[in-house]
Structure 1
Amino acid sequence: MLQELSITNFAIIEHLDIAFEAGMTVLTGETGAGKSIIIDAVGLLAGGRGSAEFIRTGADKAVLQGMFILPADGVTAQLLDEAGIEHADNTVILQREITKSGRNTCRINGMLVNTTTLKQIGETIVDIHGQNEHQELMQPEKHLGLLDEFATAKIRKLKQRYQQQYDRYQQLNRELRQKNANEKEWAQRLDMLNFQVDEIAAAQVKVGEEASLTAERDRLDNYQMINQALQQSYTLLAAGEETTGAVDMVGTAMNALEPIANLDPAFNEITVNVKNAFYGLQDAAGQISNQLDLQEFDEGRLDEIEQRLDVLAQLKRKYGDSEQQILDYYQKIAAELSKMTDSEENSEDLAQRVADLKQQLLTTGEALSDKRRAAAKVLQRQIHQELKDLYMDKAIFEVRFKPTKGQIYRSGLDSVEFYI
């Protein structure tokens, strides 16, 4: 059913929008009022021959657009599916633009199509009965829909179930084809993720590890300088066999000041400062001694650290600027790998679901075909009776079912043609 029609710069019409109600619509008016122009516009939307002559004088292009409800026979929906055109809301919008150069731009539900596709789909929606126009009864592709209309009461529910199964089958089949088409890319991505996950997991990255290793490497790299500085400073602070260290000298000064500390506040302050210096130097000497005991140069450990830092540097170049970013990336790709692995395991299940649904579809389609054949016999008898009433006793009307060669369509498993 035609719901809305929009005409711009077509023939004598500058702009016209028409909304059609359910039921019959009659266009009336005097000769030249534009009734036939509206019919011509609908014919062009259905794929009729168009040229620049249709463009309104002074305009650059003519634009036609019509919104239709999809016919119940499923033929239009099947053609839309085959052309890859979405039609989720059970409506179809045909649009056609004709420019002065004669160029035609056709769209169906917003998707660019050629005029051949527009004609194929348009003819399943629009049927114009008039001089030099096609008639539905002369088009074999319409005969199945006519038979279904005749048998609506008996096949409606079965046909609806078949079409629901068909739509689901098509959806799953598209998913399976898409997965198979991307199999190489999928496998490459899977291999890369496996490699990256294994590489990062094997490295056992820890946050702060690089900074700790860098500090340890710097100490090992500067071992000689550090050891010399500690030895020299300890020698100056602590007493040796032949020398007096700074700690002992400050201790001697502290002992000398203690007898006069209580005689004057100034002497007491000096004594306190010297005591603090003594104990501070004593602590420092002890710390230096401990560090000297810990000093040990291990060339093997230095090589080990350098190798580990190289591993971390390579991971940072690939996966992030820090240990935390590397670990975050690991979590991300591990999740993706898990999802892909699950999906890969389910691909066989998807193929099995497609096969199972196809079998259900064939079973339902065969049941639908049986009901159609029964309805065809009733139709033949009724047509014969009508022909007999018209004194055409010897005329024969026959509904022929032709093999579809294993093809499955949204309309069913049948190809029907009327013969008379």
Structure 2
Amino acid sequence: MELSIRNFAIIDHTTISFEKGLTVLTGETGAGKSIIIDAIGQLIGGRGSVEFVRHGSKRAEIEGLFSIESTEEINNLFRDIEIEISEEDTVLLKREITLQGKSICRINGKLVTLAVLRQVGQLLVDIHGQHEHQHLLQGDKHQLLLDRFAEKAITRVKSEYEQLYDIFNKKREMLKQISENEHEMMQRLDLIQYQYEEIEKAKLQPEEDQQLFEEKKRLDYSEDLYKTVHGTYEALYGDGKGLEWIMHAMNQIEEAASMDESLRSHHENISNCYYLLEEAAFSLRDYYEKIEFDPERINEIEARMSEINQLRRKYGDTVNDILEYASKIEDELDTLKNRDERLQQWINELGEVAEDLLVEGNHLTEVRKREAIRLEKAIQKELENLYMKDTEFKVEFEGQHFSVEELLNVKKRIPISRKGLHSISFMVSTNKGEPLKPLAKVASGGEISRMILALKTILTSHEGVTSLIFDEVDTGVSGRVAQAIAEKINQISAKSQVLCITHLPQVAAMADTHLFISKVNDGERVATSVRALNKEEQMEEISRMISGVEITDLTRKHAQELLDQARKMKQ
């Protein structure tokens, strides 16, 4: 990800390239670390405010270039919003916030709404610290995350269920249409019966309107056609006319060619022209001899065209459109006339599909439950590594067993969805004896930070987001827990690009890229500065984080130990 921020809060202008792995942002409180996260939040569709516009500027601008991996979810979304992903698999997001409070949003240069920007942004960046951007805290995403985690085991089963669901839903909608209001059905039958008979009575032929138009055009111009075509023939054929002179020339050049062989080609060319013109003349003679002056036929054509125009106003722009409409309502007529028979046929067919759907749906749930146990064990292990042994994580399935009859009741809303027969929620209990609660309702602070880290350690490679951002996940932790958090963040960064604001020296020591945020005062204004630290500067910054104020040889030694420990762990 490459980020450009201009005139945003106390940031004048800065461009930051976030490399692979873990990028850490540190600096004094108030230097602007969280402002950078705020800017990213705005870029991916956060609620805007004129307060973000730097004093003295007309607008704030945030731009982000993301390299993405093509996934079904991303491809479907970009197809829906009609925006192409570049050949380099990059997406450019841009947002401007004006002093008047207007937001101008663009994706790959195309203007979009804030809602669309938010849709795309949430697939690219996940910010921990702002709940509206967290996939893991959104209950409707839990089923998708489980399915991604269990991709190998679940893909085929899920696909078979979805295909059956689509067939079932389509047939159910058709059955609903057939079985709805009897009075409306009879009115519809009378209407299309009249329409079909009116079209049938006209005995239309394909392309008839165009053929009549061409015939009338010929008849309207028949006298002029006769004169011009006959005149052309007369100019070519007859005594002293064109062909006679060409024949004379052909005979002359033939005689000359007998004396000079080089003239033979000229004789052949003239001969070919003569015979081609003669053939054309005979064809023109046949044409004008067939021309008829038939006023009665013109009247017949006009009457027929008038009849066709009446039908065109009702059923289609052309005769072919009218015939296509007749074919369509013929099928509907058959359905309505044989309504009771068709209704029973549809009920039987839908019942068969419903039985298969329930079988596949229950199979899908069984697979999900098996994979959910595997997910629970994996996350439980991560929680233990983060010193949360008493925390319990469960994947809860909600739903009930449905009968075929319940699914066939078209008067009620279908009780299942394309996702499956059961909904899924991540449930958590952070202390022994406490009941399980939805993940989103877990208390904030150190516990929720570690819970999110445990989940992300397992699910990062399945979430599909390009960048993960942790905004001070070290809140409320220290000591061995801090070291465990640092190790988990490092583990996550091996699978996804991670940006982390931290006050923990243990986390900072894990950084692949260390950015230092500071305030710069030019005597008139204060601005935020972003600078990448080299190894020596990184050691000094970690020493400052350890000591708080005064940097001593002891704190430098401790900082170096943290860096050496982090390097060994990565190796």
Q: What TM-score does the superposition give when structure 1 sets the normalisation length?
A: 0.47
> Whose relative contact order is higher, 1 or 2, with alpha carbons under 8 Å and at least 6 apart?
2
Q: Is the radius of gyration larger for structure 1 or structure 2?
A: 1
Q: What TM-score does the superposition give when structure 2 sets the normalisation length?
A: 0.37
